[in-house]
Amino acid sequence: MKNETPQWTRKDVGQTVAAILTIILFTLRKGPFMEVAKEMLRHLWAYTIYSIATVLIIIGLTKKIFKYKPTWKQIIKWAIFLAAFCAVTQFAHEGFLALTGQMKP
């Protein structure tokens, strides 16, 4: 693993912003505003908790084996990218259910 600086570069910020915008885009749903807002916040909360916990568990399980020490910047980026992945896959799953008639409109 290459040595990374703990400072945020323009590339790091751009990647993080793109991932956050992806999360927001794939979390949007249609319907009444208040219901959609509550559902969106619930999804964002779930993605945040899930991604942070998963990244910390993986680091805890692999840190001694692979002898690495991730920086806070790496941990934050990994958690945000995992949350973006979860948002996209959840959206795809709901789309599949809607297309096959397994989800109520």
Tokens found for residue 34: 């208040």
- pLDDT recorded at residue 32: 92
Report the alpha-carbon distance of residue 43 to residue 13 in Å, rounded.
Answer: 23
- pLDDT recorded at residue 5: 72
- pLDDT recorded at residue 82: 97
Instruction: State the angle between helix axes of 10-27 and 33-66 in degrees (0 to 180), rounded to the nearest 10.
Output: 130
Report residue 105's pLDDT band, with 50, 70 and 90 as the boundaries: low
What is the pTM for the complete model shown? Answer: 0.86
Tokens found for residue 103: 């989800």
The per-residue pLDDT of the chain, averaged, comes to 91
